[in-house]
């Protein structure tokens, strides 16, 4: 069959043979064919539109973008490139996907989520150690003190205490006996100040003693010693009502309506001078004793006082000789039973 060359008129007729009578393309979406108008009016979708009804397309798109992503392969597809204008939306979606992954793959108990406890990875180990320590019978004389566990790690939990053998490291509260055995430990993270319903809220430092004393039997004449970091008179009252005897050093500004002589007056007295005042707090007798040695020492106790006094030997730098001075009974009891945690530090060092 031979070739046939199309003329220009024939080519033009072929190109326009599908044009409508109004010279419009059939696939033009901008104009609705009048022949299909009755069909559209019969549909339920178009029955509610009357006249020129404005539709906010931007609001619909924004609502679609802010909706939560559906779990599936599409929600984890991070390979798609995002434009600069959608960068903020992409960051929000990325954080939402990250949270979905954590809640799906990480197992956290309710208590950790509620109090946001730090050190949650080693918390089970600490609890297991405390359960093992609690199987050993308690000594009569107990003390609560701080211990610094030295470390070179970088952590916001590191503390500095110049009075400890290891001055920089993790702080641990220890309940110890005179023998140097630790009955309970509690790492300090700043988030342990949890008060039980039957316990008073005595402040962050005093609440440490309340927590450490939970395992001490009540009304069996156990004696608890601690320093002035933890001491407050309401704490002495609470321990006495619980049947736990306590003795501790105390800061003068933590004694309301203090009648003890001022430090300037005490420094004018001779070495060994002491004064005692006894106060009654809701039926509990609390003894406050101030004593002058090289420095002024103030103590408070619910079972010990100034008497009987004992003589102790001290070195007098001014006269370059040893002298005998009087020491209150409460000071001797404190020195005899307060060194349990320091003994642990010396053994570990």
Q: What is the CATH number of the domain that holds 303?
A: 3.90.350
Condensed to tens digits (0 to 9), the pLDDT of residues 209-223 reads: 999 999 899 999 999
3-state secondary structure (DSSP) of residue 169: strand
* C-alpha span between 175 and 178 (Å, rounded): 10
> Residue 149's beta-bridge partner residues?
170
Written as six digits, the tokens of 309 are: 């006094």
Averaged over 290-295, what is the pLDDT? 90
Average of pLDDT values for 55-64? 57
Number of independent structural domains in the chain: 1
- Count of H helices and E strands in the chain? 11, 11
Domain assignment present for residue 150? The answer is yes
Across 126-146, average pLDDT: 92
Under DSSP, the state recorded for 190 is S
Give the chain's mean pLDDT. Answer: 76
Task: Report how far residue 334's alpha carbon sits from residue 313's, in angstroms, rounded to the nearest whole number.
Answer: 17
* C-alpha gyration radius of the chain: 40
What H or E segment, with its residue span, contains residue 336?
helix 329-337
Euclidean distance between the first and the last CA atom of the chain, given in angstroms as a whole number: 109
Question: 186-194 long-range contacts, Cβ below 8 Å, gap at least 24?
Answer: 186/126, 186/211, 186/212, 187/119, 187/122, 187/126, 187/157, 188/146, 188/157, 188/159, 189/117, 189/118, 189/119, 189/157, 190/118, 191/115, 191/116, 191/117, 191/118, 194/115
From residue 208, alpha-carbon distances to 89, 205, 311 in Å are: 46, 6, 35
Residue 116 maps to a domain: no
Which pLDDT score, from 0 to 100, does residue 27 have? Answer: 47
Other C-beta atoms closer than 10 Å to the C-beta of 93 total 18
The rounded percent of the chain whose pLDDT value lies above 90 is 21
Domain annotation covers residue 49: no
Residue 330 exposed, middle or buried by CB count within 10 Å (0-12, 13-18, 19+): buried
Burial zone of 141 (CB within 10 Å; 0-12 exposed, 13-18 middle, 19+ buried):
buried
Q: Report how far residue 38's alpha carbon sits from residue 105's, in angstroms, rounded to the nearest whole number.
A: 56
pLDDT value at position 131? Answer: 92
Report yes or no: 306 and 329 within 8 Å, Cβ to Cβ.
yes
Residue 205 falls inside a structural domain: yes
Show the domain range for 164.
123-348
Long-range interactions of 190-199: CB distance < 8 A, separation 24+: 190/118, 191/115, 191/116, 191/117, 191/118, 194/115
Q: For residue 9, is it within any domain?
A: no
Give me the pLDDT at residue 75, please.
Answer: 44
In this structure, is residue 74 part of a structural domain? no
Given this model, what pLDDT does residue 174 score? 92
Report pLDDT for 30: 44
Contact 243, 293 (CB under 8 A): no
| Domain membership flag for residue 88 | no
Residue 155: C-alpha distances to residues 119, 150, 158 (Å): 11, 12, 6
Q: Does the pLDDT value for residue 80 go beyond 90?
A: no
Q: Half-sphere exposure of 237 toward its Cβ, with a 13 Å CA cutoff?
A: 14
pLDDT band at 226 (very low <50, low <70, confident <90, very high): very high
Please report whether residue 37 resides in a domain: no
Question: Is residue 154 a contact partner of residue 194, using CB atoms and an 8 Å limit?
Answer: no
185 and 146 Cβ atoms separated by less than 8 Å: no
Contacting residues for 64 by C-beta, under 8 A, at least 6 apart: none
- Please tell me the predicted confidence (pLDDT) of residue 136: 92
Looking at residues 160-189, what average pLDDT do you find?
87
Would the pTM of this model clear 0.85, i.e. be above it? no
Contact 185, 174 (CB under 8 A): yes
């Amino acid at each position: 069959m031979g070739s046939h060359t199309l003329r220009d008129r024939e080519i033009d007729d072929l190109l326009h043979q599908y044009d409508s009578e109004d010279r419009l393309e059939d696939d033009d979406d901008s104009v609705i064919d009048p022949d299909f108008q009755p069909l559209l009016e019969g549909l339920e979708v178009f029955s509610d539109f009357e006249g020129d009804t404005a539709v906010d397309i931007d609001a619909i798109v924004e609502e679609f973008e802010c909706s939560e992503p559906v779990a599936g392969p599409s929600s984890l597809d991070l390979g798609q490139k995002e434009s600069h204008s959608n960068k903020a939306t992409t960051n929000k979606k990325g954080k939402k996907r990250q949270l979905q992954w954590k809640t799906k793959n990480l197992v956290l108990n309710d208590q950790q989520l509620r109090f946001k406890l730090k050190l949650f990875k080693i918390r089970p180990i600490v609890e297991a150690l405390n359960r093992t320590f609690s199987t050993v019978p308690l000594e009569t004389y107990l003390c609560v003190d701080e211990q610094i566990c030295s470390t070179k790690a970088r952590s916001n939990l590191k503390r500095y205490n110049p009075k400890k053998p290891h001055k920089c490291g993790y702080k641990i509260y220890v309940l110890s006996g005179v023998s140097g055995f630790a009955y309970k430990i509690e790492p300090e993270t700043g988030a342990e100040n949890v008060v039980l319903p039957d316990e008073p809220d005595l402040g962050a430092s005093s609440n440490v003693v309340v927590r450490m004393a939970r395992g001490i039997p009540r009304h069996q004449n156990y004696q608890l010693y601690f320093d002035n970091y933890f001491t407050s008179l309401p704490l002495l009252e609470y321990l006495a009502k619980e049947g736990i005897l306590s003795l501790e050093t105390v800061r003068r500004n933590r004694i309301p309506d203090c009648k003890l002589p001022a430090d300037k007056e005490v420094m004018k007295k001779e070495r060994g001078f002491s004064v005692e005042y006894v106060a009654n707090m809701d039926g509990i007798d609390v003894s406050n004793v101030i004593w002058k040695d090289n420095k002024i020492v103030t103590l408070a106790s619910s079972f010990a006082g100034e008497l009987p006094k004992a003589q102790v030997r001290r070195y007098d730098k001014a006269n370059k000789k040893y002298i005998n001075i009087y020491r209150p009974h409460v000071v001797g009891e404190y020195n005899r039973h307060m060194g349990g945690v320091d003994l642990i530090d010396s053994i570990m060092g």
